[in-house]
Structure 1
Amino acid sequence: MCLIMEVGVGGGGGGGENNDVLVPPTNFSMAEEGIYRSGLPQPDNFGFLRTLNLRSIVYLCPEPYPEENLKFLAANNIRLLQFGIEGKTHRTGCLVGCLRKFQNWCLTAVFEEYQRFAGVKSRSTDLAFIEKFDSVCLRQCLYSLIYHYQGYGSNKRRLLYREENLQKSRVTSR
């Protein structure tokens, strides 16, 4: 399970961890089975996050991850993956929007979900990025990787497929 997050305004209150009440982080929602999205958790969100049995957290901001949150991750054996995407975009919304396109959602539904979570942070440049995201190219790339590394089909087919790709790249580079 994974939690995708970015720094946001507010949190769950920020008043320290309270074990009696489970408070989700700002903008918390399930993006896909086992994958959640949210703003940056505050200490009073830790009890809620503990119930998810997270294995990793994907942090999309360039700012250092808060020390108190790092201690929570260490205590709960959660791995932090930080990608540090610069800019003033709604990073999580863009990432989830691209996921939705990959899942073949209609663009209207993708934009509605983006705007629901982005609120005042909604930007036309983010929507244009999501619209132009090429999910078909990504799908072909993923299929190629799966085919190559998982060994679907015979070795001969896999080697031929690899040689075909090499020949195509030689032809296009001339």
Structure 2
Amino acid sequence: MSLVVPLNCSLVQPNLYRGSCPREINFPYLRSLNLKYIVSLTPEPLGKDPVLAKFCADNCIEMIHIECSKEKKEKKDKSKPKVKRKKKAVPIEYEVVVECVKFLIDARHYPCYMHCTNGELITSLVVACLRKFSYWGTVSILNEFLAYNSSINIHERSFIENFNSEVEIENLDVKDKVSWITVPHVCVPKGNDSTSMEIARVSSVSNRLPKLRFHSL
């Protein structure tokens, strides 16, 4: 049986895959990944799709929905003149990226497949922000972004460059985080015992980079 990968599908990090919204033709390929989770960055949860829901249930895959690109509907006031409103410059908020980080930092959530509708803009913005936790340079981040998008505008570039949130990580021990996300802490000997270690904070991390704050430290 031939395996058909989703559009724009690729490996982000070990056991973390990205791509477009899965279709039934992609199910054999997704099954071969032994996924634990599918993370959907979509306006509506994919659980409403009975075919996909059955596939996930049959393969013990949990579906996680992180809502984005959903415009809030406002009640129309007919007494007011019509005003044309521009769409958001970037179809995602920093809160969405932070929620993704909180989920993806946990090594117990892998293998995992993350997708938006077409595997392009929204997924690329999340991955670009994730790369900053691995201290990727701006040029490398933007080059990867352009591999999945034909261009990048000033709003998208600004969104990536200005992502420097401090993310609060609760209910997760630092030893359970994925290895490719860097934490501004190091292990140092505890007292005079070289066999016992403790975690110390590194203060030299640039303020322009996002940070993780583990409550377990």
Q: TM-score with structure 1 length normalisation?
A: 0.64
Other-structure match for 2:26: 45
Q: Does 1:60 align with 2:41?
A: yes
The structural deviation recorded for 1:123 is: 4.1
Partner of 1:128: 158
What SS does the aligned partner of 1:57 have?
A: strand
Change (3 A) 1:55 1:133: same
* Alignment partners' CA distance in 1, 2:30 and 2:133: 27
Q: CA 1:73–1:119 in structure 2 vs 1: closer, same or farther (change >3 Å)?
A: farther
| 1:23-45 deviation line (CA, Å, top 9, x unaligned) | 11001111111111010011111
Q: 1:129 to 1:43 in 2, by over 3 A?
A: same
Whichever structure has more helix as a proportion of its residues is: 1
Q: Identify unmatched segments of 5+ residues in structure 1.
A: 1-19, 159-174
Alignment partner, residue 60 of structure 2:
77
5+ residue gaps, structure 2: 71-90, 93-120, 175-186, 192-197, 200-217
**Any residues of structure 2 matched to 1:149-160 within 5 Å, and which?**
none
Output the CA distance in 2 between the equivalents of 1:133 and 1:146: 24
Q: Give how far 1:114 is off.
A: 0.9
Q: Distance in 1 between matches of 2:150 and 2:53?
A: 28
Structure 1 or 2: more strand by fraction: 2
Correspondence for 1:108 among 132, 139, 150: 139
Residue by residue over 1:70-104, the C-alpha shift from the partner in whole angstroms, topping out at 9 and shown as x without a partner, is 11111111000101112635221111001111111
**Root-mean-square deviation over aligned CA pairs:** 3.0
Aligned residue type for 1:28: C
- Per-residue deviation at 1:119? 2.9
Larger relative contact order (CA 8 Å, sep ≥ 6): 2
Specify whether residues 123 and 63 from structure 1 end up closer, same or farther in structure 2 by C-alpha distance, changes over 3 A only: farther
The SS at the match of 1:119 is coil
Measure how far apart 1:63 and its partner are. 2.1
Shift, 1:142, TM fit: 4.8
TM-score by length of 2: 0.52
Aligned length, in residue pairs:
130
Give 1:100's aligned amino acid.
R
Q: Secondary structure of 2:159's match?
A: helix
Counterparts of 1:58 and 1:64, CA distance in 2:
10
When residues 79 and 33 of structure 1 are mapped into structure 2, their CA distance, relative to the original with a 3 A threshold, is same
Measure the CA separation in 2 of the matches of 1:123 and 1:70.
36
Partner-residue secondary structure (3-state), 2:63: strand
Q: Secondary structure at the match of 1:80?
A: strand
SS at match of 2:12: strand
